[in-house]
Amino acid sequence: MTVENLEATETAESPETAVSAETAEPAVAEADLERALEAILMVADEPMSVVTLATAVGAPVKRVRAAVDALVADFDGVDGGVRRGFELREVGGGWRIYVRAEYDAVVADYVLAQNPTKLSQAALETLAVIAYKQPISRGAIASIRAVNVDSVVRTLLGRGLITEMFTDSETGAINYGTTDLLLSQLGINSIDELPKISPLLADGTEGFDGDVR
């Protein structure tokens, strides 16, 4: 293979070039690009990279990157616009819509007032996993519980019982931990005061059921 052919192959296989090919028929009209991206970001559970967004709307990466920058400026009220109560923030190599920090308390109060105080069994089990294993990613929680935990994690976040601690630099996965609100609800000062699990587990003297997980 010649150098020219090799360079052509590498260019063809580049994700950015593939997405940004001008000959491709755009899935979203140019005039609707920003609004389409806004709609996708409103329902995204995890930060979305520019390449992922470009693939979703069928538009070149360069134009999507410019549209994301325009949304950031729009939400921030640049050039005399209205500054929104939410912002588009880049986290872990991707973009996601967040409530602005100054409105966190207002939103938390609203969510707590609107939602019943009793948690479901699934929420309690997920909260226990996070409390004992934090910091822990959503994927690790799902692996332990052997079920999808996306909606439960959103519920716990909305209740203010858990928080996003950091984003893994390699995987981009958000790691979760408990909040001071949970401590106050449990009446303890530190997560170290949680009861030990080991005394509650079977010691094996009477054998184990085949379905134990």
Parallel, antiparallel or unpaired: strands 162-167 and 174-178: antiparallel
Between residues 87 and 18, which one has the greater pLDDT?
A: 87
| Whole-structure pTM value | 0.53
Q: What is the pLDDT of residues 144-203, one digit of tens each?
A: 999 999 999 998 998 889 999 999 888 889 999 999 888 877 878 888 888 887 776 666
Examine the pLDDT at 117 and tell me if it is beyond 80: no
Q: What is the pLDDT of residues 17-53, one digit of tens each?
A: 444 444 445 567 777 899 999 999 998 878 899 999 9
Q: What single-letter amino acid sits at 172? A: G
* DSSP, res 149: -
Parallel, antiparallel or unpaired: strands 136-137 and 174-178: antiparallel
Alpha helices in the chain (DSSP H): 3-13, 15-19, 33-43, 50-57, 61-75, 104-114, 121-133, 138-145, 150-159, 180-186
